[in-house]
Structure 1
Amino acid sequence: MAVRIRLTRLGRKKQPFYRIIVADSESKRDGKFLDVVGTYDPLQDPAVIKIDNSKLQDWLGKGALPTTTVKSLIKKVAAEV
């Protein structure tokens, strides 16, 4: 049972909004999750990415693996700081 840090989709049709969540790798995209780590709003100009670094580091320390998309979002936030 691997734990992944990934996106879950919210928002209306053609207006996506995402939460960055920690979930079991076998759960559905919008199914059960363990924790909310941040949000991602691609419709803003520039896109708004908010991540709680303490929660993120805690889950990475526990062995949670980010997906490639989340990994790129983390790099963008780190580059802005």
Structure 2
Amino acid sequence: MALKIRLSRIGAVHKPIYHVVVAEARSRRDGSPVELLGTYTPQSKSQPLILDLARAEYWLSKGAVATDTARGLINKAKKAAPAA
């Protein structure tokens, strides 16, 4: 079972909202995910990205592969997170 961290589109026409999900690599884009990690709303000015970094790191450590876009969003969330 190969897992990927990728985006699943929801929302209306011309108003996209994406779920950042962990899903099987061979499943459909909007199919049922293994886990929902967060949301990405590109048109939102206040808070476009809400992501659970701990769970994303967990799935990456278990062998899940992030797509290019998902990897960029994870890196953006890491930079925005307060240094602990």
TM-score (norm 1): 0.91
Query: Which range moves more in the overlay, 67-76 or 51-60?
Result: 51-60
Percent of paired sites with the same residue: 37
How much does 1:67 deviate? 0.3
SS at match of 2:15: coil
Corresponding residue number in structure 2 for 1:34: 34
Partner amino acid for 1:63? G
TM-score (norm 2): 0.88
Partner amino acid for 1:78? K
Gaps of 5+ in 1: none
SS at match of 1:16: strand
Runs of 4+ in 1 over 2 A off after TM superposition: none
2-structure distance, mates of 1:36, 1:78: 18
How much does 1:13 deviate? 0.8
Aligned positions of 1:1-81 closer than 5 A: 1-45=1-45, 48-81=48-81
2-structure distance, mates of 1:72, 1:63: 18
Task: Check conservation: 2:21, 2:37, Cα contact below 8 A.
Answer: yes
How much does 1:46 deviate? 5.7
1-structure distance, mates of 2:17, 2:31: 16
Size of the aligned set, in residue pairs, is 81
SS at match of 1:19: strand
Task: Check conservation: 2:53, 2:74, Cα contact below 8 A.
Answer: no
1-structure distance, mates of 2:27, 2:46: 31
Gaps of 5+ in 2: none
